[in-house]
Structure 1
Amino acid sequence: MRRRDFLYMTGIGLGASMVQGIPLFGKDISVEAALTPVDIALKKKMADVALNAAKSKGASYADIRIGRYLNQVVATREKQVENIANRESYGMGVRVIANGSWGFAATDNLDNDSIARAAEMAVAIAKGNSKLLTEPVQLAPQQGFGEVSWKTPIEINAFEVPIKDKIDLLLKVNSEAMLAGAKYVNSNIFMVNEQKYFASTEGSYIDQDVHRIWPTFTVTKIDPAGGKFETRNAFSAPMGLGYEYLIPKESEKIKGGPVTMYKKRYDMLEDVKEAAVHITEKLKAKPLQPGKYDLVLDPSHLFLTIHESVGHPTELDRVLGYEANYAGTSFLTLDKWESKKFNFGSKLVNVVADKTEPGSLGAVGYDDEGVKCGTWDIIKDGILVNYQTIRDQAHILGLEASQACCYADSWDSIPFQRMPNVSLAPDEGSLTAAELVKDVEKGIYMFGRNSYSIDQQRYNFQFSAQLAYEIKEGKIVGLLKDAAYQSNTQEFWNSCTQLCGKSDYRLGGTFADGKGQPSQVSAVSHGSPTTRFDGVNVINTGRKI
């Protein structure tokens, strides 16, 4: 088993349940080698060796995951290239049920004898675990799919784009920031390719090719008179796309206020130019006066609130108390779901789980149990109606099938329940952000994720933003500093009074949502339109007002 090294981004606020970084693990590899695929016939042969060995030792069920994980990072600071890395991790994990209990083993020696030994070890572990079993594993029924495949619908494989082109872009981004008066700037592009092969004793042989990309930067300016400094991070979202994400289109831009936002194409140069302007404004911004405000939350900010206050508390293992690492358990206990009337939010609040949304980080064809992915409601008209489940949890809710929420971050990690894309549905109308702001008398318009805190039941919380603009009588009048809002999950979502339409809907997300012990990370997106919340308590987090 290999320990993972984590690369953390400089200047970005980190949270325990949303570690802002990307795991780089495995060995160095050339770009040419990374672009050479593993023969699918060889994967099937290796899978059959493992499945046959597991069955011969008494497994009633077995599945295998052959994973080839490729990571590339290009990192710069001011006029220098700080790091270029290409990494590969390649191996197989074998999971079995024997005597009613789970067992798991993994190997990166992929000859037939090593594969068979891993499968035999998994069965031995399962049989050992069964001696402490109180009730046998119950798997939701799942029909095998035969030989199928799925691939992220990318236009340009980011790994095929020359390193020089990526460096040129990042150094241009840095140059623009410094020309605008930035003291410090770093910029990075992270690229991920998960080549995953799943096979099971139920007859599935599933080959998937998953691509993700995340361009980002942090810009810092210093006020020479007072020595104060301010920063702004990129308003890019990590996406399940190829390098086409970094080839902007005017039609992908949303300019409805003081910030240009992006849908599925991102203009890194335009964003860094705006960032420099915003930082100058932040250095001059007046402190917030605490009180009750109507909040207008941009998707670049709201995605994190959705993640923490909706995504994590509807993970069924947290609800049941099976999982508490990184994010605690959940206030959304089963009795609230069983009542079929628990008021989570206002009637405007509709939250959908989706493992298929194009461009999202969580989009795959099949999960790591070989279950075909789909969509389902979690909150419907403000009422809690469902959770997130995998095959051995489905019976607890009386479901006939898993919701395909199983994932492992590496071939040597055991798969368990992970968050799908969890998104706030837009309004059916055509309301724009600019129109929404016109109706706000006393409010704050927030952009970008920043610091946050939430309790271990995912209930009481505090969030701040990269940018917080004051709204007076329907007009944006300037930036405020040190603004953060406090609420509890139920009160906050019941204060939701307006949502923009589909044209304003955008994705935010993270490459590395942490969970479990030993810890694993997963990539997940959260979509929403610009949304209004009335009468929320806003505090000043600075020392002086």
Structure 2
Amino acid sequence: MNRRDFLQLSGLGTAGALMLPTFPTLGRAVAPEALLESPLDVALKKRLADAALNAATAKGASYVDVRIGRYLNQYVVTREDKVQNLVNTESYGVGVRVIANGCWGFAAVVDAKDEAATARAAEQAVAIAKANAKLLKEPVQLAPQKGFGEVSWKAPITKNAFEVPIKEKVDLLLSVNDAALKNGANYVNSVLFMVNEQKYFASTDGSYIDQDIHRIWPIFNVTTIDPKTGKFETRQSLSAPVGRGYEYLQANPSDKVTGVTTRYNTRYDMLEDATAAAQQTKEKLTAKSVEAGKYDLVLDPSHLWLTIHESVGHPLELDRVLGYEANFAGTSFATLDKWESKNFKYGSPQVTLFADKQQEGSLGAVGWDDEGVNTKRWDLVKEGTLVNYQAIRDQAHIIGEKESHGCCYADSWSSVQFQRMPNVSLAPGKSPLSVDELIKDVQKGIYIIGDGSFSIDQQRYNFQFGGQLYYEIKDGKIAGMLKDVAYQSNTQEFWNSCVKVCDERDYRLGGSFFDGKGQPSQSSAVSHGSSTARFNGVNVINTARKI
């Protein structure tokens, strides 16, 4: 696909361009009705998989796994009173990965619905593995994994987003835009992203796993201009991308978190948020510009998820630690010697950061990963000390693990699966603590809500983060809105400055719908949870442009 066709298909020449750091493999454009066609019959998928397993084994493979995938995407893009793009895509095919002569090999075939095609792909994968083996320095060491037989997992959705009429989705987005404009915004764009991954995995371990995964992300961006000065302010939606169905957009009062602005938990009110965003951008135009200096920061989960993602999730990917990602994504300051010391203080005693692919409603939730490993939870940082990394089957032995952590993923049937970030989250505080109680003894602080621009170095150590909304805290009380705020720190200093974390009542998920990694680049979706947390003595800068 050439660049012009890609832009036309994806809508990146419009509102979506500013919202996406990495765009996923799309597939071929189809009619919306095609997205509602029934998945491939499980019995047929098993026959296709068995043909590949048998063919690869016959050619000398010591291990084989087969992934049969149907990937559906629908994106609705609007701006003000116009629909700018409607994207419906489908991608279907089979990928076969093998170990032969101690080396990996991979091949894939598009639209394969007969056993001869999957068998040919398997034979090609074995031939590639044997060719690769001529340059092999040491054989692949694959952690053992029991087979699960014929099993399945489905995302616990109650309303399939693909079954909702497009008109209803368009009407929602246009009403969101209208609400923002009526409340003073000059410009607004909104997008609704919906994904369904229908994935089947089979391996010589004896697993035949059928999974149905759903994700959704409603997002908007509001801009308000001061007509006298020409200055402008923006505010992005406070929605979180989630592993849920269309029910996510049917909010009720119990899903709302009140305070200086309304935030959301397992459901989201897009219309209400757009109304508030327009009003807040007007307020930001006249807000006080922050004075640079040291502040105690109170960080809402809608903001803190991104700091977790960049300063914890990425540096604790074992392939990155080992240097495998150095050419593209960088390395990690959290080197093996720090972990081996058993006393590296990643954060304060209040900081326990855990990984998982099980949290209901999270982007990373599945029953089994793309190597057929059942998912679980494990600690990365426990009470401040670095205790583990994220590892898959061919990495587990490097850190003395007997089994994979279950965090292997490929974004397509045509992509090779590799280690991807699971959900990584900050554990809630153990003692009862509300946000108001967290704030009441802050003398000089800033309360930050929503994620914004950021920068972090290639070792994931020195960084700078902004947000969407900033509120000054004076003598334990909210004193008014601020603007031009960003904080700077390094990963170890920042997490060691954490002094308090609110309890589980405040725990919420944020996340990245399009997280890029690898060469060729792949996109994955991952959630990060936390309760509101306080970090003392963090350096804050003023980001206002001086012209």
Q: Structure 2 counterpart of 1:157, which letter?
A: N
Structure 1 counterpart of 2:107: 105
Q: Give 5+ residue unaligned stretches, structure 2.
A: none
When the two structures are aligned, how many residues end up with a matched partner? 542
Structure 2 counterpart of 1:173: 176
Structure 2 counterpart of 1:62: 64
**Deviation of residue 328 (structure 1)?**
1.1
Contact 1:312 1:327 in 2 (8 A): no
Please, what is the CA RMSD of the aligned residues? Answer: 1.8
Residue by residue over 1:407-426, the C-alpha shift from the partner in whole angstroms, topping out at 9 and shown as x without a partner, is: 00000000000000000001
Q: Structure 2 counterpart of 1:353, which letter?
A: A
**Deviation of residue 33 (structure 1)?**
4.7
Contact 1:29 1:88 in 2 (8 A): no
Match of 1:122 among 125, 132, 143: 125
Structure 2 counterpart of 1:464: 466
Contact 1:31 1:159 in 2 (8 A): no
**Deviation of residue 12 (structure 1)?**
8.0
TM-score by length of 2: 0.96
Q: How does 1:66-465 map to 2 (within 5 A)?
A: 66-110=68-112, 111-256=114-259, 258-324=260-326, 326-465=328-467
Residue by residue over 1:46-100, the C-alpha shift from the partner in whole angstroms, topping out at 9 and shown as x without a partner, is: 0011111101111011000000000011111111111222110000000000000
What is the distance in 1 between the residues matched to 2:34 and 2:196? 14
Structure 2 counterpart of 1:530: 532
**Deviation of residue 10 (structure 1)?**
5.8
**Deviation of residue 183 (structure 1)?**
1.0
> Cα gap change, 1:248/1:326 in structure 2, threshold over 3 Å: closer, same or farther?
farther
Contact 2:15 2:189 in 1 (8 A): no
**Deviation of residue 385 (structure 1)?**
0.3
**Deviation of residue 8 (structure 1)?**
4.3
Percent of pairs identical after alignment?
67
The alignment partner of 1:314 has SS state of coil
What is the distance in 2 between the residues matched to 1:131 and 1:55? 20
The alignment partner of 2:315 has SS state of helix
Q: Structure 2 counterpart of 1:237, which letter?
A: A
> Cα gap change, 1:325/1:361 in structure 2, threshold over 3 Å: closer, same or farther?
farther
Residue by residue over 1:256-311, the C-alpha shift from the partner in whole angstroms, topping out at 9 and shown as x without a partner, is: 2x111100100111101110111011111121110000001111111000000000
What is the distance in 2 between the residues matched to 1:168 and 1:29? 19
**Deviation of residue 515 (structure 1)?**
0.3
Q: Give 5+ residue unaligned stretches, structure 1.
A: none
What is the distance in 2 between the residues matched to 1:21 and 1:464? 23
What is the distance in 2 between the residues matched to 1:327 and 1:345? 24
Bigger mean CA deviation after superposition, 365-374 or 480-489: 480-489
Contact 1:63 1:201 in 2 (8 A): yes
Contact 2:26 2:91 in 1 (8 A): no
Contact 1:499 1:531 in 2 (8 A): yes
Match of 2:478 among 467, 476, 479: 476
What is the distance in 2 between the residues matched to 1:156 and 1:397? 42
Q: Structure 2 counterpart of 1:469, which letter?
A: Y
**Deviation of residue 13 (structure 1)?**
9.3
The alignment partner of 2:494 has SS state of helix
**Deviation of residue 114 (structure 1)?**
2.1
